[in-house]
Chain A
Amino acid sequence: MKAVALAVLLWAAPALAGGGSATTAVAGPVTIQLETTSADVQVKGTAAHKVTLSVDDSDIQVALVAHGDRIEATFDGRRKLRSGEVRLEVPTGSRLELSTVSGDLAVERLGGEAYLHSLSGDVHVDGASVADVQTISGDVVVKATAGAMRIKTVSGDARVGPVAGPAAELQFETTSGDLVWSGACGAHCRITAATVSGDLSLALDPRSSFELRYQTYSGDLEDHLGLGGVSLSPRGLDRPARFGAGEGVIDCKTFSGDLALRRR
């Protein structure tokens, strides 16, 4: 975070702005904020030391405005673009803060932290260091993100993985959205999921090593991993189940959502 702030402060080059697009040179990764009502947003991380923003309507005056340690996108002087399509290129490792009502958000090769809020738009992240996604009904897909992930939805489904490495970190909360997750869960892995009626499906690498807790009111457990010695009641597992050496933790709470464990 400090490095990002420093990069922006040291590089005060003015943005080249005009109808439909704007570019500003930066020394390295930046923090960038962008808001839309229903416009879709595509973001790509690149090796170039510049930020480029463009929209599909050349009549819109686009600008990149620096505020301290962050850059804010404006459209005809307003912070929020109503409709259309936005393309944004940022240096790899940048921190992204996107917010939309119903636009779809797609982030590719960011390499930095992605904070993404959507009401009904879908969110797709492929290659971030951290992903923090909140939607009401938008679906969420997160790939190639090894760091911490937090996903909250009301009814949006989430598909995560495959997660590289054994130290997956996921916090998932939903009312009725389903989660499909795949990866390994070993030392330092912590997956927590809480749903009302959303189902959870975890496809785990056989080299995984974790302790499983599952509390539920009326959900079912479908175990294709062969946890062994597991006793399920409608309240969930009577006691934590162990797979391998039990190094990581998978903690699932549902009201009526089912939990399925599969071998990856």
Chain B
Amino acid sequence: MRVPLVAVAFVLLAGSRPAAAADAPKSWRFTTGARAEVNVENVSGKIDVEAAPGSEVLVEAVTRGGTETDRAQWVTEVEGHGAAVKVRARCGGWASSCHSRASVELTVKVPPGSRVAVHGVSSDVRVKGVSGELRAETTSGDVQIAGAGNTSVHTVSGDVHVDGAAEISVKTVSGDVTLRGVQRESRLGTVSGDIRWQGACAVGCRLAADTVSGDLQLALASASSFDLDYRTRSGDFSDGFASSPQRSGREGVHTRIGKGEGSISFHSVSGDLELVKQ
């Protein structure tokens, strides 16, 4: 019996756990210019957006999981007009409900300067290297962003991780937020999600965070220079910079680190604030 080499390779690569069944990938290509406007919507499958040099938008969709009948219920609609590209994965018809165990995984490559809007429901979202305006929204999916420009993220319970952005606005209900390397302004709000902000805060840095019970940890470069205003009902303040507060009492702390060139404010009902010197 002759066994095709491809089949042998597949078995060796897959190991003992077979990969989830998947349809053949479908792909689309649009010439948009360097500043495409890309809108991506999905429900539960992951969304992966990555910047690629050039003036084209490439879309790849793979329907994965469940039976063939499950996968057949998913439709990926992709359309492009000039600079605008819309991608939407949906299950079932407009009037019928979805009964499928499959999901669609979307991979989109865009020119770096593109303007991108991503909407997931329970989809995890990953965006890398997009320097144009970026908007990401999920209900429970996590959001991971790297090397972004002006960015806004909204989730209900999804966690948010950002590694490098010019300016950012993040709002969650209970999702935790981790930010590293934000260059200018960070506007952050959660109900109970904790926030960790890591980087240097000096000239041009502005960070404003509001939470109900979420904590804020600032892991700051030792060369940081900013004014800090912390207002709280019952949160605790931990100061790794050992600063000399101008105001420190029941309702919060006002202090200056270095020359006070940047600005950090944190308002919280019971969230703690921790300054960590790096």
Contacts and interface: CB of A to CB of B under 8 A. Distances in A.
Given A154-B191, A155-B174, A196-B156, A217 B122 contact: yes
B263 interface: no
B97 A235 contact: yes
Nearest to A174: B174
A196 B270 contact: no
B252 interface: no
A234 to B, nearest CB: 6
B193 A155 contact: yes
B138 to A, nearest CB: 10
A198 B175 CA distance: 12
Nearest to A83: B234
Given A38-B270, A136-B212, A255-B122, A101 B98 contact: no
B235 A82 contact: no
Contacts of A218: 43-44, 121-122
A233 interface: yes
Contacts of B157: 155, 175-176, 196-198
Contacts, number: 105
A242 to B, nearest CB: 21
Contacts of A120: 192, 213, 269-271
A102 B270 contact: yes
A208 interface: no
A114 B194 CA distance: 29
B247 to A, nearest CB: 18
B192 A235 contact: no
Contacts of A234: 44, 91, 98-101
Nearest to B100: A234
Contacts of A136: 191-192, 212-213
A105 interface: no
B149 interface: no
Contacts of A176: 140, 156-157, 173-175
A167 interface: no
B32 interface: no
Contact of A256 (B122, B175, B269, B271): B122
A46 interface: no
Contacts of B233: 37, 101-102
Interface residues of A, number: 30
B234 A175 contact: no
B214 A137 contact: yes
Contact of B174 (A119, A154, A255): A154
Given A119-B269, A217-B122, A234-B101, A155 B140 contact: no
Interface in A141-189: 154-156, 175-177
A175 B193 CA distance: 11
B101 A233 contact: yes
A177 B174 CA distance: 9
Interface in A231-262: 233-235, 238, 255-256
Interface string A111-144: 0000000011100000000000000111000000
A197 B43 CA distance: 14
Contacts of B270: 38, 101-102, 119-121
A237 B212 CA distance: 36
Nearest to B102: A234
Interface string B122-139: 100000000000000001
B234 A255 contact: no
B250 interface: yes
Contacts of A196: 139-140, 156-157, 173
B234 to A, nearest CB: 4
A119 B173 contact: no
A175 B139 CA distance: 10
A155 to B, nearest CB: 4
Which one of B140, B173, B175, B269 has the greatest number of beta carbons of chain A within 10 Å? B140
Contacts of B43: 217-218
Contact of A101 (B173, B175, B234): B234
B139 A255 contact: yes
B190 to A, nearest CB: 9
B234 A37 contact: yes
Interface in B144-202: 156-158, 173-175, 191-193
A175 B173 contact: yes
A154 B140 contact: no
Interface string A32-69: 00000110000000000000000000000000000000
B209 to A, nearest CB: 16
Given A156-B192, A176-B156, A234-B100, 5 more contacts: A38-B270, A155-B173, A234-B44, A235-B98, A238-B99
14 contacts: A82-B250, A120-B192, A120-B269, A155-B157, A155-B193, A175-B173, A177-B174, A217-B43, A234-B44, A234-B98, A234-B101, A256-B44, A256-B122, A256-B140
Interface of A: 37-38, 82-83, 101-103, 119-121, 136-138, 154-156, 175-177, 196-198, 217-218, 233-235, 238, 255-256
